[in-house]
Amino acid sequence: MIENIESIEKEDWKKAEGVEYKKGYTNSASAPRDYSIPCKINKNICIIKGYFIWWCSTHHQPWSDCRENKLQIELDNLKDALKKVFALVK
């Protein structure tokens, strides 16, 4: 597992496929992501009480963050679609 953390630290977040790097972003946490690009999860960060925490190399963040953000985008899209349907009903 230590090898995984070392290889994650060697990744250049500015070159990650799913990170939209532009000048002015000082770290990967502040950069926007393109979640239409599929995740590449092949590294364990750690195991906590039997649960594996995975790393997404595509978006340069923990995979759980990818899932959360993708679900939020889907939820927002569904809300927008429902607003349009309710606008037609009125």
Task: Give the count of domains, the chain.
Answer: 1
Dihedrals φ, ψ of 46, to 5°?
-165, 175
Dihedrals φ, ψ of 52, to 5°?
-85, 135
Could you read off the pLDDT of 1-22 as tens digits, one per residue? 677 889 999 999 999 999 998 8
How many other CB atoms are found less than 10 A from the CB of residue 31?
20
pTM above 0.95, yes or no: no
Task: Assign 36 to helix, strand or coil.
Answer: coil
Task: Assign 84 to helix, strand or coil.
Answer: helix
* Predicted local confidence at residue 1, as pLDDT: 64
Rounded-to-integer distance, Cα 59 and Cα 84, Å: 32
Range of the structural domain that residue 35 is part of: 2-89
Rounded-to-integer distance, Cα 9 and Cα 55, Å: 11
* Predicted local confidence at residue 11, as pLDDT: 92
Q: Residues of the chain whose pLDDT is less than 70? A: 1, 90
* Predicted local confidence at residue 88, as pLDDT: 83
Dihedrals φ, ψ of 83, to 5°?
-60, -40
